[in-house]
Amino acid sequence: MLKSSRSFADYSLKKQPKGLTTPRVFEKLKEIFDNFAEEIIKEGIDSAELSDRKFFSKRYKDALWVQFVFVLNFWIHDNSTGFEKSDEAIEKGVNVTFDLFQRSPIDNLLEYGKFLAKNGGMKEKMGFGF
């Protein structure tokens, strides 16, 4: 649907003030997007496909929105045949985003660090002299 309205999307974005806030023309879209993203993220966390991180999980939808706005902007400026570069940007961006949302070695490292912080006195109890 957006392909048929590409010039309108381009015009609408150019009319918006530059900044880190959501352009006014996208306020309703962002609301719908956030609800959709929250639903998908909840399903992903419930099924353990996505990692439930204490401080970051509630920001996942914001990361998806940033990804969406980036892709939209990329697409508006894409002159490749059939928007193939936009298709590639979408694929790579989605892969990276969801890789970041899934459990990773960083999660294991943080859990290990928490464990060591809580149980750091174990070396004295076990007689290790390091």
Query: pTM for this one?
Result: 0.72
Asked whether the beta carbons of 10 and 76 are under 8 A apart, the reply is: yes
Q: Measure the CA–CA gap between 115 and 118, rounded to whole angstroms.
A: 5
The reply to whether 18 falls in a domain is no
Quick one: 64 exposed, middle or buried, by C-beta within 10 A (0-12, 13-18, 19+)?
buried
Name the domain count of the chain. Answer: 1
- More confident position, 128 or 33: 33
DSSP 107: H
Reported as a pLDDT band with limits 50, 70 and 90, residue 78 is: very high
Residue 117 region, left (φ>0) first, then alpha (ψ -120 to 50), else beta? Answer: alpha
pLDDT at 129: 53
Reported as a pLDDT band with limits 50, 70 and 90, residue 16 is: confident
The reply to whether 125 falls in a domain is no
pLDDT at 46: 93
Range of the domain at 33: 3-13+24-118
User: In the structure encoding, which two tokens stand for residue 90, read together?
Assistant: 């979408």
In terms of DSSP H, where are the helices of the chain? 6-14, 27-46, 60-76, 84-101, 105-119, 122-126
Q: Measure the CA–CA gap between 88 and 104, rounded to whole angstroms.
A: 24
Summarize pLDDT for 23-67 with one digit per residue, the tens.
777 889 899 999 999 999 999 999 988 888 877 888 899 999 989
Question: Taking residues 91-118, what's their average pLDDT?
Answer: 84
